Every structure is written in C-alpha cells, then in structure tokens.
Amino acid sequence: MPEPTPTTGPASRARVVVIGAGASGLTAARDLAATGHEVTVVDKGRAVGGRLASRRIGEADFDHGAQFVTTKHDDVRDVFDGWRRAGVLVPWFTGSPDAPARSDTARDGHPRFRGSPRMRSLAEHLAAPLPDVRTGLRVTEVRADPGGWLVSAVPVDRSDPVRLTATAVLCTAPVPQTLALLDAGGVELTEHAETALRPVTYDPTIALLAIPTGPTSLPNEGALRLADGPVSWLGDGLRKGTSSTPAVVVHASPDVSRDLWGASDEEIADHVLTAARPHLGVDASAVYVHRWRYATPTGPPPGGDDLALLDHAPAPIAFAGDAFAGGRVEGAVRSGRAAAHLLTSALAP
C-alpha cells in the first residue's frame, strides 16, 4: 500500500480522531492522511490490531483473534497488494477450513492468507507511517465541542487524562461500545443513525491458547472450523507457520462462550480442552484465556448496503467496522475505506 501523500492544501486540512486501531480504523486513517488531514488514532489496547490479535507466550506465538484473510473485492485490492509487497501477507491454504469435508471437490476454491510473521503484522504495517497512533488510551466519552468534538480518554497506565479536540470523529470500536461513549457525552444522533446503530449485536468468543503435547491431527494446514458443537475453531500455529514451536488456538462456540463468560480461567480451560481433544488428537496445556465480548457481529449490517455510516449532528462523525461488512478482515478494511471517503466529502471546503 503506498505511503500516504497529502493531496490537498492547508485550507482543507481538518483534525480527525479515529477511535480504534484495528483494520477499519487504520485503513481509514491512512486514507484520511493521504488527503491532507491531521489524524490521531487512539486505542485502549497496548498494541495496534484490534482483532488482528497476536500474543507471544514463552517461545510460542498465537493468533487468537482473526485467523486468516480472504481477498475477494477489488475496491481494497491496493491494501492487500501493499501487504503482500511488504511481506506481511502470505498464502496459508486454498479452500474452506470447514468440517468435515476437506477433499479437493469440497473446497470452495478461495485462497486464505495469513499475517507474517503473525496476524498483528498486518495492523502494524498500516500503522507504521501514521505519525500519531496512541495505544493504551481508553476513550471514556465523546461530546460536542465548539467547532467539532471533544474526545476524553484515560491512559491505561493511570497517568493524566487526555482530551483531544477534533473537527470530525470516526468510531470503529464495536457499536455498543461506541454508543456508550456517545451516551456518556450526551450526544444525540439523528434518528437515522440511532435506528441503524442501536439494534447491532455481537456474539462473544472465548479464545483458549494452549501448548499441545505433540503433533495435532488437525486437517491439512492446521485449520478446522466447526459449525456445531462446543468449539468453533481450532488452529495449529506451528503448521500455520506463525509459531516456531507448538501452539494451538481454540475458539469456543458463541453459546459456550456465553455460558462460560463468568467462569474462572481454569474452568474454561478444562471445558474447552475436553471438547477440543477429539479434534486435536493430543492433550494440551492451557496457557492463556482471552474473552472477546464483541467477536462476531450478528444480524443485518447497520448500514444496509452501505459500508459505513455518516452523521452530522452536531459535527461530522462516521461509524465503521466489520459489523458493516460481514465480520471479516476484508470487510473491516472495506468499511474503513468507505468511512474515510464519507468524511473526506463531508470535510471538503
């Protein structure tokens, strides 16, 4: 992906705060910076990525959020081409990881790609040229301010609060979190935005990270997606090529994740590993449990056929994320690009 190059003069320059440093937020930030705007990206995580999440424990590396990328839409082809040229997006396997059929005739034919060396590398590449990306900063409210917006945040290290003024805001956090920030600031959206955003819901996912005692029996490239049962995904990082030592990620199904949400990590590990063992073919020892409260958007996209949403009350504010485009990495990128286009048009002199 080309480096952002300002293409407009100072007269059209605006300050935009992007909430969320995942695929949507960083894609939008790149596009907004390329049109000459001053962009600040904030995220409560200690690193960029959102659900492009990776974690290293000992010598093992785990991708515990998004597992792969598909590239089916030409409108974001340049993003994927940029990732490939940079060496951070590489082929993993071709076809569906769905159980039970894995024969050539059962495959869907679509290539799946992975981040290299890990999924978070994709987000790190997007963030690299941006001059103002602030992680470890939890936004507490968004409120109207003369001429635009005031975004208040608290660093996770408990240092002094931060207040950012902006001409426009882009919200890419999960929709319920975004609405909570606007409610905290007393923001009244238009009826259209309220009607679109309030009904948005998500399924949770509990991700279990584990070290197997030996080679797993997962099919082919170490990827298995299940439509039924207590686990929905199993991935072998060693066979995937993202870990130099054995590393397994197991995602509990939405129903099991809801049932176990308040359980201890030990209870979760015991339940999930018991369910995973017939698929792994070996025992495994849990090393970490991660709870994704807003893992998979459910129901129709809030924007309908639109990949992002723009509101003007009281100043330009846009909404984007994977909920607008099918819950995949590619959808998140497309939504971010659409939001950047909406804001660029709204901020034009």
Query: What CATH number corresponds to the domain at position 223?
Result: 3.90.660.10
Given pLDDT bands bounded at 50, 70 and 90, which one contains residue 12?
Answer: low
Together in a domain, 274 and 329? no
Together in a domain, 129 and 209? no
Say whether pLDDT at 53 is over 50: yes
Residues β-bridged to residue 137: 155
- Give the per-residue pLDDT at 309: 98
Say whether pLDDT at 86 is over 70: yes
Residues β-bridged to residue 292: 205
Say whether pLDDT at 314 is over 90: no
Together in a domain, 108 and 252? no
Choose between 108 and 185: higher pLDDT: 185
- Give the per-residue pLDDT at 158: 80
The answer to whether residues 212 and 226 touch, using CB atoms and an 8 Å cutoff, is: no
Share of the chain above pLDDT 70, in %: 94
Poorest-confidence range of 14-23, 103-112, 129-138, 153-162?
103-112
Residue at which a domain ends, from 260, 276, 298: 298
Choose between 157 and 45: higher pLDDT: 45
Burial class of residue 7, CB neighbours in 10 A (0-12, 13-18, 19+): exposed
SS3 at position 164: strand
Q: How many structural domains comprise the chain?
A: 2
Together in a domain, 190 and 212? no
**What CATH number does residue 29 fall under?**
3.50.50.60
| Mean pLDDT computed over 226-245 | 97
Together in a domain, 290 and 317? no
Together in a domain, 185 and 173? yes
Q: What share of the chain is helix, strand, coil (3-state, %, to 5)?
A: 30, 30, 40
Together in a domain, 77 and 223? no
Given pLDDT bands bounded at 50, 70 and 90, which one contains residue 273?
Answer: very high
Which residues have C-beta within 8 Å of that of residue 266, sequence separation ≥ 6? none
Given pLDDT bands bounded at 50, 70 and 90, which one contains residue 248?
Answer: very high
- Give the per-residue pLDDT at 157: 86
- Give the per-residue pLDDT at 1: 45
Together in a domain, 243 and 155? no
Together in a domain, 339 and 194? yes
Together in a domain, 219 and 174? no
| Mean pLDDT computed over 195-218 | 97
SS3 at position 19: strand
- Give the per-residue pLDDT at 8: 40
Six-digit token pair at 72?
Answer: 């089916």
Together in a domain, 111 and 45? yes
Q: What is the mean pLDDT of the chain?
A: 93
Share of the chain above pLDDT 90, in %: 88
Report the relative pairing of strands 89-94 and 60-63 from DSSP bridges: unpaired
Together in a domain, 213 and 195? no
Given pLDDT bands bounded at 50, 70 and 90, which one contains residue 110?
Answer: confident
Domain containing residue 263: 202-298
- Give the per-residue pLDDT at 5: 40
Q: Round to whole Å and give the CA distance between 198 and 176.
A: 8
- Give the per-residue pLDDT at 10: 40
